[in-house]
Structure 1
């Protein structure tokens, strides 16, 4: 089994420099933010927006802090099952794992919006730019989950099943890779293709499409993914991941409808920004 051989050949630690160990999980986050920034900048240029490389860099920094804080807090609150109430010092131990996509999404919007308000940049347009590149970060992150042998799926007899070290003596769905392909590559390709139209589609189009597609894909993959041990199934076969994904689908559809009705063009700086003062 190719994927099983690949998993056992990989080491979660990419390299070590003396006492410092660098894990693929950390590299995945770094690659994700860098790629998202590049995609945001290139798309802004193609849309002929007046955003500079420094603007995009500042926004990405805000997003980085928002993602890390939001993803960790969301995991602690919704997936911690009370564990962190008795171990509060472990809340900051992000190196031990435990990050929530849903919280990271909220954190990214908040962090990016703070920077946008400081620079008088359009928040809806930046959200659209950000979600075009975000799936690449999801792709790298899910690949790192595979390398770490975490978030694996249910038992399977399919040829690509993987026997994870922490998953018992049974071959399982590599659900991390399913998510990497669907939530990462598939959404990126769809949004990137959509972004190449000029003039660009109205504000909200890309955010709405991203939320709807991610929610649907995540909901489907959860059927073959084992839920977090401390939570299990919440309502029959429904998991926390599915419960949190349904609002994303609804929000995505609503945003798409509103975007189609409003037809607001993509813009860079708002009134009072650098370009309006030139």
Structure 2
């Protein structure tokens, strides 16, 4: 081990166990993200002055949003991983595609699934789909932050080999020190995007339907591509042409869609 490498802290992925019930940090990260998002979304819809007219949901409707979004993330995330990251394996083992507890979720797939679920919810509540997406965009960075922290605790999705003083030797990644890219992504996708979303909310972005969602999508695409420069690609895919990664490739459409949403948002705010 190089002199400056930091040994991986031996963190037990199991937070606690009560008899046969085992609760993992990863599950707690999902719960923290959902509860944090629910709390913030409830506060946003109760502040009617933030919106152009009325919010897309009332406080009770946020509960529905939580259920719809969670279902979309799980189904879309698993389907995205199967299609984008390991299609050959799952074509040979189709039943394992139905077993997300064996590992394998794609953020981009989860985002698409959540988007479809929120579109259906907007139709149910006769609400503006753009405003629905704006509400979701405001709270998603909370879940991203906790999710990336959980990736670090699990010692998964590690970074590329590096000699920076804060490089970490992960237990399942060989003896080489690597970038703690999960923490980079927690900072960029979680903290930085959250600060950006809240700054836009304070500036009146929710009165321009689609602006906040567009800023999130394009912002996420940019920080994800940057984060991929430090992250080791999935072993079954490796690097693509020109040193690109699948995460980079899937993030390009997000930037395009995000810019389109932001640029087509209404330009005149109303109170």
State the TM-score, normalizing by the size of structure 2.
Answer: 0.91
Change (3 A) 1:202 1:152: same
Partner of 2:250: 244
2:204–2:269: 8 Å Cα contact kept in structure 1?
Answer: no
Match of 2:243, SS state, is: coil
The correspondence for 2:70, drawn from 64, 67, 82, is: 64
Aligned to 2:124: 118
C-alpha distance in structure 1 between counterparts of 2:34 and 2:4, whole Å: 30
What is the distance in 2 between the residues matched to 1:9 and 1:167?
Answer: 14
Size of the aligned set, in residue pairs, is 264
Residue 86 (1) aligns with residue 92 (2): yes
Cα distance per residue 1:42-96 (max 9 Å; x no partner): 1122234353221110111111100100000000000014111111221122222
Task: Kindly indicate whether residue 24 of structure 2 is the aligned counterpart of residue 23 of structure 1.
Answer: yes
Shift of 1:148: 0.8
Question: Which one of the candidate residues 221, 225, 237 is aligned to 1:219?
Answer: 225
Structure 1 counterpart SS, 2:231: coil
The equivalent position to 2:236 in structure 1, one of 223, 230, 244, is: 230
Looking at structure 1, the residues matched to 177 and 167 of structure 2 have their Cα atoms a distance apart, in angstroms, of 5
The unaligned stretches of length 5 or more in structure 2 are: none
Distance in 2 separating the partners of 1:196 and 1:45: 15
Provide the rounded CA distance (Å) in 2 between the counterparts of 1:163 and 1:217: 24
Q: Deviations over 1:108-147 (max 9, x none)?
A: 1111221221122222111101111100100000000001
Are residues 2 and 98 of structure 1, via their aligned partners in 2, closer, same or farther at CA, if it must alter by over 3 Å? farther
Query: 2:179 aligned to 157, 173, 178, which one?
Result: 173
Contact 1:153 1:224 in 2 (8 A): yes
Kindly state the Cα deviation for residue 198 of structure 1 after the two structures are TM-superposed.
4.5
- Please state how far the C-alpha of 1:103 moved relative to its aligned partner: 0.7
The correspondence for 2:141, drawn from 135, 147, 150, is 135
* Long gaps (5+) in structure 1: 267-278
Contact kept in structure 2, 1:149 and 1:166, CA below 8 Å: yes
How many Å separate the matches in 2 of 1:158 and 1:44?
A: 44
- C-alpha RMSD of matched pairs (Å): 2.0
